[in-house]
Amino acid sequence: MFRNFLNWKIILIGLLSGIVSGLFASGGGMILVPAFLYLLNMKDVEARATSVICILPMVVTSGFFYYKNNYIDWKIGILCAIGGIIGGIVGAKLLNKLPTKYLKIAFTCFLIYAAYRMIK
């Protein structure tokens, strides 16, 4: 019974993060990592790694609809993707070296700053 409830909880987390991904083009990571940490009690590194795997199909799906509606600036997208690949490598290597507490503080500061800039 508990296992069945857990499966539905995971599906609902995916549904919510997919909706966020489609609406805000965020990839859903802002929903997935905290949900994995606090609702599924995953370890920090495991939550982040699992989030990346979940995000890929969401990004592909959302990207298809953005492409279909001709919303993509390909030059900016490709150049940013190159930087993102390099940044992903650096970030994944740093993840194992930085204390979780500092990662949480940095992520919180980033979200507060981004929210402030969006409503300004």
SS3 (DSSP) at 11: helix
The reply to whether 65 and 13 lie within a common domain is yes
The boundaries of the domain holding residue 9 are 1-71
pLDDT value for 27: 59
Question: pTM of the predicted model, to two decimals?
Answer: 0.71
Q: What is the dihedral of CA 113, 115, 118, 120, to 10 degrees?
A: -70
The reply to whether 35 and 6 lie within a common domain is yes
The reply to whether 7 and 45 lie within a common domain is yes
Q: Which residue has the tokens 């490598």?
A: 89
Give the residue, 46 or 22, on which the prediction is more confident: 46
**pLDDT band, residue 12 (cuts 50/70/90):** confident
pLDDT value for 76: 93
SS3 (DSSP) at 8: helix
Q: How far apart are the first and last CA of the chain?
A: 47
Q: How far, CA to CA in Å, does 116 sit from each of 23, 27, 107?
A: 19, 20, 14
| DSSP conformation class of 27 | T
Indicate the number of domains in the chain: 2
d(CA 111, CA 115): 6
On the question of pLDDT at 2 being above 80, the answer is no
Condensed to tens digits (0 to 9), the pLDDT of residues 34-90 reads: 899 999 999 988 998 899 898 888 888 888 999 999 999 999 999 999 998 999 899
